[in-house]
Amino acid sequence: MLASKFTLSHVLPLLLAGFALSQSALSQTTPSHGWTQLNPSTPFPARAAFASAYDPISKKVIVFGGTDGTNQFNDTWTFDGTTWTQILTSDTPGARADATMAFDLKTRKLVMFGGYRGFLFLNDTWLWDGATMTWTQAQPTTVPTAATNPSLFTDPLNGHVDLFGGYQGRFYSRSMYQWTGSDWKPLNPSTTPYPRAGAVATLDFARRNVVMFGGISDNWVTQNTWTWDGRNWTQQQPANQPPPLYFTVGGYDPTARLVIVFGGGSVGVDQNITWTWDGSNWQQRFPPSSPPARELFGTVWYPPAGDLLVFGGRLFSTNALYDDTWSLH
């Protein structure tokens, strides 16, 4: 029988083992590297507000749904470092935007929750199996309140997917749940961040916790940094912080041992700035080139190339949609 204890030392090999990692763009020894626009043979479809995550089982980036500003979609796309490919599945989640997904190390599946379709807020849970490239709708007994842009992330203690917050139609939430593999279990830490949706929430392997920053709340936007160790939240007091950010996500660079965050909205003005978190402080980076400013896009660390990918999204000021793919390497 396998031991039940689960630590981050089990997580990183599954996500990264067998991959030749390139030198990080943000390493102190390679400050001249920066963002490069890729030219995949099939471009990413122009859209925003989709769910996306890296699937270490299929070794592909997985994207579902999103919106073009008028319609919500229910298609699944993958990226293998070269080509975006639409995947047709026998069972497919309903069309949606503003859903979120993350990888569950225990079940080895991506977990997707929430979003909206038309005027309907969604609370269904879907599981992506990278071994069979299929979707399955879960049937949990406990169902979190329907929400858009909740934060989903891999728990640093046991590898399951945790859910925090989201926008529930009238209120922003600070509720927290954990996916057990078959059900959502409420979590009740003694301290929780302020209610929010659309925050950055990224597993920081080096510090063995999840770092969360920003998001939209009842007071419009938030500008504070919290870490989750699997048991409780702690508000950090870094000397430097990004401006208030929302509708962006981050990725962890194992070579530089930094969490990287790009772009996002900031009080109505989209950004194209790159930030890193080293466990105690945020630092703005100045790569020689950067993707255009955007929000509601995809950001995924892609281990096969050792790159951070940015793709799709929209520019708030014009509602222009992006179909581009960028790599920070």
Each residue's pLDDT tens digit, 19-71: 333 333 343 333 346 999 999 999 999 999 999 999 999 999 999 999 999 99
User: Which long-range contacts (C-beta less than 8 Å, at least 24 apart) are formed by 206-210?
Assistant: 206/252, 206/257, 206/258, 206/279, 207/279, 208/7, 208/8, 208/156, 209/156, 210/153, 210/154, 210/155, 210/156, 210/162
pLDDT digits (tens, 9 = 90+) for 312-322: 999 999 999 99
Q: Which of 20-34, 47-61, 90-104, 117-131 has the lowest mean pLDDT?
A: 20-34
The rounded mean pLDDT for the chain is 91
Q: State the amino acid at position 323 in one-letter form.
A: D
Q: 243, 100, 236: which is closest to 177 by C-alpha? A: 100
What was the pLDDT predicted at 219?
79
Locus of tokens 């009740």: 188
**By three-state DSSP, how is residue 86 classified?**
strand
**Exposure of 38 in the CB half-sphere (CA atoms within 13 A):** 25
Give me the domains of the chain, ranges plus CATH numbers: 8-328 (2.120.10.80)
Compute and round to an integer the Cα radius of gyration of the chain: 18
pLDDT in tens, 194-203: 999 999 999 9
**Residue indicated by tokens 């070269």:** 82
Q: Is the pLDDT of residue 146 over 70?
A: yes
Closest Cα to residue 315, out of 303, 302, 324?
324
Could you please report the per-residue DSSP string of 281-296? -EEEE--S--PPP-BS
What's the whole-number mean pLDDT along residues 178-189?
A: 98
- Give me the percent of the chain exceeding a pLDDT of 90: 88
